[in-house]
Amino acid sequence: MTTQQISMRDAFGQALLDLADAFPDMVVLDADVSSSTKTGMFARRYPERFFNVGVAEANMVDIAGGLATCGLRPVASTFALFLALKCADQVRNVLCYNNLPVVLAAGYAGLSDSYDGASHQSLTDLAVMRAMPNMTVVVPADASEVQQALQQALRRQGPTFIRLSRNPGPIFFDKDDELEIGKIRKMRDGADLTIAVCGIPTSFVLEAAKQLAQQGVSVDLLEISTIKPLDVDTLALSASKTGRVLTVEEHNIYGGLGSAVAEALARRCPVKMDFVGVQDCFTESGPYDELMAKYGISAAAIIEKARGLLS
């Protein structure tokens, strides 16, 4: 992990520019929030490949689906909450039913749209998207994984949902340490407890694992960037070794990473589990870091849950 801080939205905007020549059929759509999602960078350089549909998110998904049937590779970008809820019918019936190669770039996910409150904070999007047949669901942990996820998604023959955060975060992986959709990364080897994490809370888990190590607890740390399809083999191997699994996510504890892991292990390797995430409630407006701590997503909360599992 480096001390450099880069936001996923900035990395996404830059990735669109970096990949434009390699994917000449890529087109970008936005729902009138291009200054926030950073698709405006692409619009200024490639105006003929950019479409601002206005505040009409459902129409945007339909248009993206239509463009995909013409051989283009659409990237549809807006806030995660709107893609998951306002566009659910279009995502299901147009993109997923027809298995169209559209990338859904879901910005401002989790609590990162912090000052706009519960109406904009996206804590159920993973539950919605991973329930859609044919949908691939990716949750990058840092800016490096954002570009890698986008590049791989543009090569896939089906819809992909990429969850992006607004706020700056540390870089965990260099460009040579490539993300692979459908595969878990092992970030730390341990025998006492498996911690599975996705997205922004990865930095909290690394700090928690460090403090637990000082207390004599070795953590098997899995960074699960792909929620669907889930790398069940790697997950089950770790769970069978440690016998205890703690999941950590910036999402409701129902329907997201924790549910995906529990479902998989129930079939392959049932173990004792616990879950760090928002405890099935609506959240409020405020500074991002303070909201994360208030709703139990922090190194301290992870350590507390870990100690409970170990006891």
SS3 244: strand
What SS3 state is found at 162? strand
Quick one: 86 and 210 in the same domain? Answer: no
Pairing of strands 185-188, 160-163: unpaired
Q: How many CB atoms lie within 10 A of CB 125?
A: 27
The domain that contains 233 carries what CATH number?
Answer: 3.40.50.920
Task: Decide if 106 contacts 83 (C-beta within 8 A).
Answer: yes
**176 within domain boundaries:** no
User: What pLDDT is stored for residue 253 in this prediction?
Assistant: 97
Residue 269 lies in a domain: yes
Query: Which residue range(s) make up the domain with 218?
Result: 185-306
Do 250 and 201 form a contact (C-beta atoms < 8 A)?
Answer: yes
Tell me: do 157 and 212 sit in the same domain: no
Paired strand residues for 273: 245
29, β-bridge pairs: 51, 76
* Two tokens, residue 7: 């936001």
**pLDDT attached to residue 118:** 95
Does residue 227 share a domain with residue 274?
A: yes
Are 148 and 245 in a shared domain? no
In contact, 197 and 247? CB cutoff 8 Å: yes
> Is 222 domain-assigned?
yes
Q: At 163, which CATH number?
A: 3.40.50.970
User: Does 177 reside within a domain?
Assistant: no
Map 167-200 to HEC letters: CEEECCCCCCCCCCCCCCEEEECCCCEEEEECCC
Q: Are residues 125 and 248 in the same domain?
A: no
Residue 190 sits in the same domain as residue 165: no
Q: Are residue 101 and residue 11 in the same domain, yes or no?
A: yes
Q: With DSSP H G I counted as helix, E B as strand and the rest as coil, what are the percentages for the chain, rounded to 5? A: 40, 20, 35
- Taking only the tens of pLDDT, the chain with its 311 residues reads 556 799 999 999 999 999 999 999 999 999 999 999 999 999 999 999 999 999 999 999 999 999 999 999 999 999 999 999 999 999 999 999 999 999 999 999 999 999 999 999 999 999 999 999 999 999 999 999 999 999 999 999 999 999 999 999 999 998 778 899 999 999 999 999 999 999 999 999 999 999 999 999 999 999 999 999 999 999 999 999 999 999 999 999 999 999 999 999 999 999 999 999 999 999 999 999 999 999 999 999 999 999 999 98
240 and 278 belong to one structural domain:
yes
Domain count, the chain: 2
Residue 1: predicted pLDDT: 58
Q: How many CA atoms lie within 13 A of 179 on its CB side?
A: 26
E strand segments, 31-94: 50-52, 73-79
End position of a domain, from candidates 143, 170, 197: 170
pTM of the model: 0.97
